[in-house]
Structure 1
Amino acid sequence: MERVLIIGASGGIGAALASAAEARGAEVVRLSRSGDGFDITDPASVSAHLGRLEGPFDALVVATGILAPPGGAPEKALAAVEAEAMAQVFATNAIGPALVLGQAKRLLPRERRAVVGVLSARVGSIGDNRLGGWHSYRASKAALNQIIRGAAIELARTHPQAVVAALHPGTVETPFTEGYPRDKLPPAEAARRLWAVLEGLPADESGGFFDHRGARVPW
């Protein structure tokens, strides 16, 4: 039976990804702050929760992230950047996923294909940045992309069939995007697309940045 680990499974996209995997018959292990006390910003929490799990998992998805600390909002100008708020965004969006990916070798099979998907964002693309603003969020996702790239290179040395990908899910109808004016994808449709992308990527595409349609996003 396929085994899937979803980090951030209580969020809109994470929950939809977990449900989609269960619908196809996978055994899904869900971890989240609200459901399990899993704190991706706390190294001890990450180590304790992941240390209790036994692999291998055929898929590992990190579906965590914040736009800004509670009560805050993405900055419209550099003058609005606050050091503590930026550090909190980086802790959740970049450092936390790095801690999770640091344990991927133990959780994934060495002898067969496995996929690792980490939710990034198109606004983390340096090449695609034409509007500026959202400095902490953009920078944290750009940092995350570099971490994912490095994780793919490192993992390939011991897990040659593994695929690691940064994923842009599109604008999804969740509390995360409340008030955002653009057309939004239902979470179930976003999950379907993201799973299709992960399942379709060959090993030589590991370390890439892809949107929910499978198109490459510029770094």
Structure 2
Amino acid sequence: MTRTLIIGASGGIGTALTQSAQQRGHDVVGLSRSQDGLDVTDEASIKRAVATLSGSFDLIICTTGALVIDGHEPEKSIHALSADALTLQFQTNAMGPALVLKHVIPLLPKNRPATFAALSARVGSIGDNKIGGWHSYRAAKAALNQLIHGAAIELARTHKQATCVCLHPGTVETPFTAKYAGHHKTVPADQAAANLLDVLGGLTPSDTGKFFDYSGAAVPW
């Protein structure tokens, strides 16, 4: 049986991933801010929450992230950029998942395949950016991609069967994202979760350090 850990299990995509993984027969453990006090912007809280776990996990997914933080909307131009927005985005969307990975590495087995995935976003792709805008969010996700990529290189030295990746789930259909979806196709949370688990199920250690979308296609850095 696949033992799975969901970080951010009480959120929309986290809840859907928990349910979808359970339906597939996974033994799922969840951690969240509301249930376990795990705040990804507070490393001490991450350490405390992870310390409550025992054993190893075949799959660990960090689903945490935010687009609007403390009222800071995505910037329409560079003129709207602020230091506060940048700081909050980096704390939540880059620093947070990277610190989660730092503290869950001991939970990944060294003697069999295991996977760590962090949810990123296509707008964090520098190569795919053709329209500008959303500067703080884009930059934070790009930073997350770099952090996970670098960590994957190091993890391969000690966990030779491990896979460490970033995933773009698509625009998940929620009342919140409706305001920002524009002409982008949205997908219900349960379908997004199923898509991500399908992608994760097809990855091998040769894919470590890469960035994939919900269809399994590689996303440019």
Q: Sort the TM-score into its range (normalised by shorter chain).
A: over 0.9
Who is 2:105 aligned against? 105
**1:2-48 deviations in whole A, cap 9, x for unaligned?**
21110111111111111111112222111111222210100110111
Partner Cα distance (1:11, 1:57) in 2: 21
- Matched-pair contact (CA < 8 Å) for 1:55–1:106: no
Who is 1:202 aligned against? 204
Partner Cα distance (1:171, 1:85) in 2: 21
CA 1:90 to 1:176, structure 2 compared with 1: closer, same or farther past 3 Å? farther
| TM-score for the superposition, normalised by structure 2 | 0.95
Residue 81 (structure 2) pairs with residue 81 (structure 1): yes
The offset of 1:175, in angstroms, is 4.1
**1:121-177 deviations in whole A, cap 9, x for unaligned?**
000000000010100000000000001101111111111111111101011112441
SS class of match (2:167) = strand
| TM-score for the superposition, normalised by structure 1 | 0.96
SS class of match (1:185) = strand
Partner Cα distance (2:159, 2:46) in 1: 22
- Matched-pair contact (CA < 8 Å) for 1:163–1:207: yes
Residue identity opposite 2:204 in structure 1: P
Counting only pairs closer than 5 Å after superposition, residues 155-166 of structure 1 correspond to structure 2 as 155-166=155-166
Counting only pairs closer than 5 Å after superposition, residues 52-201 of structure 1 correspond to structure 2 as 52-179=52-179, 180-181=181-182, 182-201=184-203
Who is 2:216 aligned against? 214
- Matched-pair contact (CA < 8 Å) for 2:171–2:186: yes
Partner Cα distance (1:217, 1:3) in 2: 27
Percent identical residues: 57
Residue identity opposite 1:124 in structure 2: G
- Matched-pair contact (CA < 8 Å) for 2:18–2:28: yes
Alpha-carbon RMSD: 1.1
Question: Number of matched residues?
Answer: 219
- Matched-pair contact (CA < 8 Å) for 1:68–1:85: no
Partner Cα distance (1:183, 1:62) in 2: 23
**1:166-199 deviations in whole A, cap 9, x for unaligned?**
1010111124413223331111111111011111
- Matched-pair contact (CA < 8 Å) for 1:16–1:188: yes
Which runs of at least 4 in structure 1 moved beyond 4 Å after TM superposition?
A: none
Residue identity opposite 1:197 in structure 2: V
